[in-house]
Structure formats: C-alpha cells, structure tokens
C-alpha cells in the first residue's frame, strides 16, 4: 500500500511532464541563452565560436541553428538532390544575399532558430516575385487570406506579400504564433505549409486512433511530408558546403539595403536611374509595387543598396524634371473609356492596356485609372529606340513607357568601365566589382547566356564616379 501511494504521485508528475511543452527538458535539450522558457536541441549542426564575430552571413546562420536535425530517407534524398545541382544552389543563395542580413537580424532579435532564415529557399528559392498556382506570393509565399490576416496590404497599387521587409516580419509573427501553439518546430513548420487547422485535425485523428502525433507520424500531403526534409537538406549543405562540393557566394554580415521614405509620386524607372542601378535590381529590392508609379500619398518605404543612398539623395536634389510621367485619374461610374482617353490626349487602346481593361467593357466603374502623360507612351508596334523603352508588367497590366530624353539629373555622372583582358569572364568581373552577372548583362545589353567577351572592349559596370 505504501509503495502504491509513492507510485501514484510519481505517475501524475510524469503525465504532467508529457503534456504540452516540457517544463523540464530531457538530456537532448539545453536552455537557449537569454531565455528562461525556450530550449534548443543539442544535435542541430550548430557551430559556436564566441572568440570572434561571425565572418559572414552564412557563419552567423550556422551559429544560430536550434531546431533538431531530422535524419530520414527523405532528408537524404533531398540533400542529394540539392547537392547534385550546385549551379542552382549558387544562383539561389546569390539571390538570397540581398535579403539575408535583414532576415537574420530580425530572427536574432526575436530569439528564434536561424533555420527559419533558410525557409524562403524552400518556399520561393528566395525569389520575392514568386507566385504559386495557389496564388501564394513573395519570399515567404503568403496566400491572400493569410497575408490579410497578418496585415500585408494587397491592393491595385501594391502587394506587400512581395515586400521583403513587411513579408519577413509577417512570416516570423506567424511562425512564432504556430510554435507557441504547437510547442514543436516540426509541427509549426507543417502548419505554416499545410495550415494550422489541417495539422490539428491530423493530430486529433492520430490521437483518437491511439497513434503518435509527431510530425513523422502524421498522414500529410506529399508537399508537407517533404517540407521539413527539404529544409533540413538545405541546412545540411549550408552547415558543411565543402562536404557536398557546393560553393556559396560571399554574403557580408552587414546591411545590404537601407530604407528611404518619399512623399511624392515617382516613376519606378526614374527611381532606379536616380539610384544609378539597373531597374531590375531596383525591382528586386522593391517588388511590391504593382504599377510603374510609386504613390507618394502611401508614404512608401523604398529599399536601396546601402552604397547607393548618397548617390540617390544627391541625384534627386539635383534633378529638375518631373518625378512622374503618370497621372492618377478617379473615374466616375458610367464614364466611357473613349471619353477619358480623349480628355487626356491618349488613345483608348493605350488607356485600356495600361489599366488592364477588357475590350468589351465600354464604361468605367467608380475606379482609379493610371493615365500616361502626353508623348510618353507609344504602342509596342511603333519603332522606338530600345534604350528609351521600358516594359512594365504586372498581373493586370502591360504597358510600354517611353522615357523622355531630358529626364537625367543635371550633372551626368561618370560611368564605371572595365576593359576586357585575355582570360576575363563575366563571373570574374562581377566578383571584382561586387555586382552580379545578370546586372552586367543588363547594363551592357548582352543577349543570351552565350554572349562572349571581346578582348579590348569596354564593359559598363554598375555604379559611378569610379573608372575600372
């Protein structure tokens, strides 16, 4: 009887310890530094050397690994897959370089595992303009409803699901919420991919059948079943790239971009010119804008490379032209598109094309329309110098904008050049000037991946005031 009395309290204590998040960690867990209620796994591929600061962003990520390693056949399968595509891995990690510092900084500020900085590799290949068949968009692939739930604005002018800063903050808010609910990172990640309700129902189904409710025991769709193994595979390679013969591009442990707020309308193409950077690079940092104009009334936050801020400010101060060649018109219900076009001196076909209006629709609703300024828009069929035309695309528009010749800053800056020598490659030149091969191709109008370098020719290099 005395033995029974002693056994019952021990049994109750054991059962209490099995519910929810363990109040006392087992031997596989250690307390996370700086937190009283968070534990991390010992086996995480974490590398810690506190005798010196991290040399780059990759080392900083490795130091913060805190999610238990998953060693399964699926993990090995995906590790082999990514390792067998080193060029794709390089492009993906190079693309991530623009955003990694901000993502890691925010993860560290919240005390979260740095494996989460690798999640956009799985979600979008770190492409902020990625759009899935389920209409999930951006680095973190928010569907419209979840984006709205986490205050990501989605309207005619912009989609913050594609904003690197806003979407990162929303994704980490969501992941924190899911972890607090599940108490397990595998289940939290499954919930992020499949939906918290779906994961909960799968867990309840297993529980009612007397089965385990951990990630590996649940009956999940293939995408979710492969989700954590993919993340673990990326982690395996980044933890030890030499082992898998994968080369990682240099990513500095310093801010890549800074934020600038403007209160006047400005063309996207002009903003890129004032920052002295290719428009595609500007759009890669500012992919949330749906239109070729940035609205000042929205007080938008423009992201610029840190080394372009002074140039942008100096150029915009010296600039004497109009900041925008577009007009915003509030159409009244029942107004014909023909009359609106005539009033603004543009063809109806251009007005319809710019605003994505179907040909059968003759009158406007009470809606906002974008109207090109006079002489700044032509149809794509007209002959126009290639340097003066910029195609502006979105899911609802396709317009061709002709940039006026007098839209340069007052003082034309020097353009950096590099004279091609024997043995030069685009990759080597890009590395020398801290730019990308794509930027070099765009700036020098090099068509096709097989475009060759001619010894003695001059290449324009992104950036100004320095000649190579």
E-strand ranges in 21-125 read: 29-31, 39-41
Residues 142 and 73 in one domain: yes
Model pLDDT, residue 12: 43
**What pTM, to 2 d.p., does this model score?**
0.71
CA dihedral for 340, 342, 345, 346, sign (positive or negative): positive
Residue 276 lies in a domain: yes
Tell me the DSSP string of 52-72.
Answer: S--SSHHHHHHHT--SPP--S
- Residue 310 among the catalytic residues: no
The answer to whether position 161 is within a domain reads yes
Q: What is the pLDDT of residue 442?
A: 73
Residue 44: which residues within 8 A CB-CB, separation 6 or more?
Answer: 65, 66, 67, 68, 69, 113
Q: Residue 84 belongs to what domain range? A: 38-239
Q: Which of 123, 160, 276, 281 is catalytic?
A: 123
3-state secondary structure of 458: strand
Q: Does 426 share its domain with 310?
A: no
* Residue 71 sits in the same domain as residue 111: yes
What is the spatial distance between Cα 279 and Cα 282, in angstroms, rounded to a whole number?
5
Structural domain count, the chain: 4
Question: Domain for residue 244, yes or no?
Answer: no
Q: Cα–Cα distances in Å, from 119 out to 231, 233, 360, 453?
A: 6, 11, 44, 37
Query: Which residues, listed in sequence order, are joined to residue 267 by a DSSP beta bridge?
Result: 293
Contacts of 239 (CB under 8 A, 6+ apart): 45, 47, 62, 65
Please compute, for residue 252, the number of CA atoms within 13 A of its CA located in the half-sphere on the CB side.
Answer: 7
Q: Which helix (H) or strand (E) holds 349?
A: helix 348-355
Q: Report the C-alpha gap between 139 and 161 in whole angstroms.
A: 8
Asked whether the beta carbons of 350 and 377 are under 8 A apart, the reply is yes
- Other C-beta atoms lying within 10 Å of the C-beta of residue 88: 12
Q: Are residues 147 and 209 in the same domain?
A: yes
Q: C-alpha angle 371/443/283, rounded to 5°? A: 45
User: Are 113 and 204 members of one domain?
Assistant: yes
User: Six-digit token pair at 424?
Assistant: 């030069």
Beta bridge partners, 372, equal 326
Compute the distance between CA of residue 126 and CA of residue 96 in angstroms, rounded to an integer.
5
CA distance 10 to 12: 5
Q: Environment class of residue 455 by beta-carbon count within 10 Å: exposed (0-12), middle (13-18) or buried (19+)?
A: exposed
Q: Are residues 194 and 287 in the same domain?
A: no
Domain boundary among 318, 339, 359: 318
Same domain, 171 and 314: no
* Number of Cβ within a 10 Å radius of residue 408: 18
- Pull the structure tokens for residue 414: 């020097």
Q: Residue 401 class from Cβ within 10 Å (0-12 exposed, 13-18 middle, 19+ buried)?
A: buried
Say which residues have a Cβ less than 8 Å from residue 341's Cβ, sequence separation at least 6.
Answer: 347, 348, 350, 351
Residue 175 within a domain: yes
168 and 283, same domain (yes or no): no
* 369 Cα distance to chain centroid: 28
pLDDT by position in tens, the chain (length 468): 445 444 444 444 444 444 333 334 445 555 555 545 544 455 566 655 666 889 999 999 999 999 999 999 999 999 999 999 999 999 999 999 999 999 999 999 999 999 999 999 999 999 999 999 999 999 999 999 999 999 999 999 999 999 999 999 999 999 999 999 999 999 999 999 999 999 999 999 999 999 999 999 999 999 999 999 999 999 999 999 999 999 999 999 999 999 999 889 999 999 999 999 999 999 999 999 999 999 998 889 999 999 999 999 999 999 999 999 999 898 989 999 999 988 888 888 889 888 888 878 888 888 889 998 754 443 222 222 333 223 323 332 323 222 333 334 333 334 468 888 877 777 778 777 777 777 777 777 776 655 678 888 888 787 543 333
């Amino acid at each position: 009887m005395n033995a029974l009395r002693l056994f019952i309290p021990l049994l109750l204590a054991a059962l209490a310890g099995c519910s929810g998040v363990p109040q006392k960690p087992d031997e596989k867990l250690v307390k996370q530094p700086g937190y009283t209620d968070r534990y991390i796994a010992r086996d995480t591929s974490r590398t810690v050397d506190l005798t010196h600061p991290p040399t780059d962003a990759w080392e900083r990520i490795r130091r913060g690994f805190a999610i238990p390693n998953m060693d399964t056949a699926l993990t090995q399968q995906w590790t082999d897959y990514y390792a067998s595509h080193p060029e794709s891995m390089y492009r993906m990690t190079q693309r991530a370089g623009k955003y990694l510092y901000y993502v890691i900084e925010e993860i560290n500020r919240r005390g979260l595992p740095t494996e989460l900085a690798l999640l956009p590799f799985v979600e979008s290949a770190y492409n902020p303009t990625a759009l899935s068949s389920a209409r999930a968009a951006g680095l973190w692939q928010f569907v419209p409803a979840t984006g709205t739930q986490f205050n990501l604005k989605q309207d005619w002018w912009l989609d913050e699901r594609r904003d690197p800063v806003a979407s990162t903050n929303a994704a980490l808010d969501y992941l924190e919420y899911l972890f607090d609910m599940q108490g397990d990172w595998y289940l939290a990640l499954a919930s992020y991919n499949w939906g918290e309700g779906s994961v909960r129902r799968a867990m309840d189904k297993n529980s009612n059948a007397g089965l385990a409710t951990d990630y590996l025991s649940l009956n999940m769709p293939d995408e979710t079943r492969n989700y954590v193994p993919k993340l673990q595979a990326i982690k395996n390679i980044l933890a030890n790239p030499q082992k898998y013969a994968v080369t990682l591009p240099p990513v500095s442990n310093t801010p890549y971009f800074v934020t600038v707020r403007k209160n006047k309308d400005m063309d996207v193409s002009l903003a890129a010119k004032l920052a002295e950077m290719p428009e595609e690079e500007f759009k890669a940092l500012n992919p949330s804008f749906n239109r070729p104009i940035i609205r000042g009334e929205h007080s938008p936050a423009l992201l610029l490379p840190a080394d372009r801020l002074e140039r942008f400010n100096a150029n915009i101060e010296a600039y004497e032209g109009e900041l925008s060649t577009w007009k915003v018109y509030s159409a009244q219900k029942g107004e014909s598109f023909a009359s609106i076009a005539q009033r603004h001196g543009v063809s109806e076909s251009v007005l319809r094309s710019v605003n994505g209006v179907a040909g059968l629709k003759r009158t406007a609703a009470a809606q906002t329309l974008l109207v090109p300024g006079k002489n700044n828009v032509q149809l794509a069929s007209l002959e126009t110098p290639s340097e003066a035309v910029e195609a502006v695309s979105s899911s609802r528009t396709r317009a061709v904008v002709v940039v006026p010749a007098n839209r340069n800053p007052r003082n034309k800056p020097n353009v950096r050049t590099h004279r091609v020598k024997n043995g030069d490659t685009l990759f080597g030149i890009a590395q020398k000037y801290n730019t990308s091969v794509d930027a070099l191709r765009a700036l020098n109008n090099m068509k096709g991946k097989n475009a060759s370098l001619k010894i003695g020719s001059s290449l324009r290099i992104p950036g100004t005031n320095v000649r190579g």
